[in-house]
């Protein structure tokens, strides 16, 4: 036997079997009852050489169409600096486990500390955990954290303006965790504050989940919401788009207790849905209720500054069923991704990203409205780089048409409504192409 991933020569194998006190590899399974052993070959393809593996994926890749995308809905095609991908390939980072042995894991521990620092800055919150799977599950964790904190309350209110993709996940967690979710209605694309007040006054709410920017791209005004929640002993959880936080009012400034969301917008490639990185930041007061890993600064035996996993007594390997969460890892490599990204971009770069995205999005919105084929769904509401438009066009057919032009025109969120996002990756010409495609599509439709 001689394969590239199995270094055992026949001679070595004989010697090792001898030491192990058995005659054959089969004997190593003498404790497994015969009737439980697999007696057939796997019905899988034969081993492929590297050339064949490449050809296989090249072939499948032809079934995909990568396009200029005006799709957002929480996941954005932002610029990703070459440095990030390159450093992520360093196998000392890539092939390490969770940093249990701190003495030989200072690399991982240090970048997680940087990550926590940067996410705390971005959200304005005091502390951050070491990252979570993604934005949807981070929101679910925040919801459970609010319920655990409230002790005897199990109702959580969720604004209707939150992403449906987040909502469907937290609903699943809630169903099994025994949490009652009730929606706070929205008017004209923003949460109804009076409706929230009425629900809070029932004095049984553990937490309230709102979004900034919200699913429609709108920057909602949350003045007074945090005070209202706290008056009624509920935590305010704010779901955010990470990149936007460098310029828009932060969860901390709104008075939120927990900030969550997906870090994908910090330059992570779309990658068909993952891996991304979830963030969860909170106040120092709630740090011991926080799920997930946390890295802290300390000193080593020589008094040198060093970093270590800390507050582990909250975690599953110690507390088992009483842990704050079942999470026993973080999305470490993706946390490194956004850390390097933020290191390169700095506050100034992030602001520029938002400025260009803002300008492009407003240029596109105005251009689309000018065609007469679209109108703004929420005309008087402020937005950053994502907006909803209403149209009489057949959106399904428009999407098909645009796909043929290697364009994705946005997400259909109602029969007559399209959600469109623009980032700094795209230019004025790209926006013009989309506008032209809509006009041509309409002409072709009318010509029929």
Site for another protein in 217-276 (CB under 8 A): 219, 221, 223, 245-250, 253, 262, 269-276
- Interface residue with another protein among 10, 34, 66, 203 (CB under 8 A) is 66
393 interacts with another protein by CB under 8 A: no
- Interface residue with another protein among 187, 188, 328, 443 (CB under 8 A) is 328
Please give the backbone phi and psi of residue 286, each rounded to the nearest 5 degrees, phi first.
-95, 10
Nearer to another protein, 184 or 421 (CB): 421
Q: Which of residues 275-314 bind another protein (CB under 8 A)?
A: 275-276, 287-288, 293-302, 304-306, 308, 310-314
- Interface residue with another protein among 382, 397, 414, 440 (CB under 8 A) is 382
34: exposed, middle or buried (C-beta count within 10 Å: 0-12, 13-18, 19+)? exposed
- Number of shown-chain residues binding another protein (CB under 8 A): 210
436 interacts with another protein by CB under 8 A: no
Nearest to 243 by CA among 359, 341, 108: 341
In whole angstroms, give the CA distance from residue 116 to residue 84: 18
- Interface residue with another protein among 205, 258, 340, 368 (CB under 8 A) is 340
In whole angstroms, give the CA distance from residue 411 to residue 71: 6
Asked whether the beta carbons of 442 and 393 are under 8 A apart, the reply is: yes
In whole angstroms, give the CA distance from residue 268 to residue 438: 29
- Interface residue with another protein among 149, 391, 408, 442 (CB under 8 A) is 408
Q: Which two tokens stand for residue 173?
A: 């967690």
Site track for another protein across 8-47, x = CB under 8 A: x---xx-xxx-xxxx--xxxxxxxxx-xxxx--xxxxxxx
State whether residue 212 is helix, strand or coil: strand
Question: Is the omega angle on the peptide bond into residue 213 within 30 degrees of 0, that is, cis?
Answer: yes
| DSSP designation for 269 | -
Q: Tell the smallest beta-carbon distance from residue 130 to another protein (Å).
A: 7
Strand (E) or helix (H) holding 357: helix 332-370
Nearer to another protein, 150 or 199 (CB): 150
Q: Tell the smallest beta-carbon distance from residue 356 to another protein (Å).
A: 5
Q: Which of residues 169-228 bind another protein (CB under 8 A)?
A: 169, 171-173, 175-178, 219, 221, 223
- Interface residue with another protein among 23, 182, 318, 379 (CB under 8 A) is 318
- Interface residue with another protein among 34, 101, 203, 448 (CB under 8 A) is 101
Q: How far apart are the first and last CA of the chain?
A: 67
């Amino acid at each position: 036997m001689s394969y590239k991933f199995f270094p055992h020569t026949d001679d070595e194998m004989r010697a090792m079997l001898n030491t192990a006190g058995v005659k054959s590899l089969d004997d190593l399974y003498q404790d497994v009852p015969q009737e439980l052993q697999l007696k057939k070959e796997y019905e899988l393809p034969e081993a492929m050489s590297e050339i064949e593996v490449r050809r296989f994926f090249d072939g499948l890749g032809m079934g995909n169409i990568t396009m200029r995308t005006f799709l957002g809905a929480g996941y954005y095609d932002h610029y990703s600096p070459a440095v990030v991908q390159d450093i992520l390939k360093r196998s000392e980072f890539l092939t390490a486990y969770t940093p249990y042995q701190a003495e030989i894991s200072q690399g991982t521990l240090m970048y997680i500390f940087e990550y926590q620092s940067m996410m705390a800055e971005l959200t304005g919150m005091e502390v951050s955990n070491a990252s979570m799977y993604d934005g949807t599950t981070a929101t679910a964790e925040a919801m459970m954290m609010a319920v655990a904190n409230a002790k005897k309350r199990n109702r959580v209110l969720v604004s209707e303006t939150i992403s449906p993709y987040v909502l469907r996940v937290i609903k699943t967690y809630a169903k099994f965790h025994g949490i009652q979710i009730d929606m706070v209605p929205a008017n004209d694309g923003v949460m109804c504050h009076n409706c929230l007040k009425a629900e809070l006054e029932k004095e049984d709410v553990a937490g309230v989940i709102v979004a900034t920017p919200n699913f429609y791209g709108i920057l909602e005004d949350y003045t007074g919401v945090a005070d209202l929640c706290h008056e009624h002993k509920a935590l305010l959880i704010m779901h955010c788009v990470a990149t936007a936080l460098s310029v828009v009012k932060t969860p901390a400034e709104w008075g939120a207790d927990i900030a969550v969301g997906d870090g994908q917008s910090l330059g992570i490639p779309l990658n068909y849905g993952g891996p991304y990185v979830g963030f969860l930041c909170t106040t120092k007061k709630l740090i011991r209720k926080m799920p997930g890993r946390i890295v802290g600064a300390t000193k080593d035996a020589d008094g040198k500054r060093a970093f270590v996993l800390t507050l582990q007594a909250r975690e599953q390997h110690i507390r088992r069923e009483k842990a704050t969460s079942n999470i026993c890892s973080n999305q470490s490599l993706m946390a490194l991704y956004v850390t390097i990204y933020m290191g390169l971009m700095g506050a100034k770069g992030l602001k520029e990203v938002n400025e260009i995205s803002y300008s492009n999005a407003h240029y596109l919105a105005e251009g689309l409205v000018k065609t007469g084929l679209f109108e703004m769904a929420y005309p008087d509401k402020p937005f950053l780089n994502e907006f909803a438009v209403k149209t009489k066009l057949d959106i399904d057919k428009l999407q098909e048409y645009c796909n043929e032009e290697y364009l994705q025109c946005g997400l259909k969120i109602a029969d007559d409504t399209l959600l469109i996002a623009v980032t700094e990756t795209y230019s004025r010409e790209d926006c013009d192409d989309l506008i032209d495609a809509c006009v041509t599509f309409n002409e072709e439709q009318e010509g029929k």
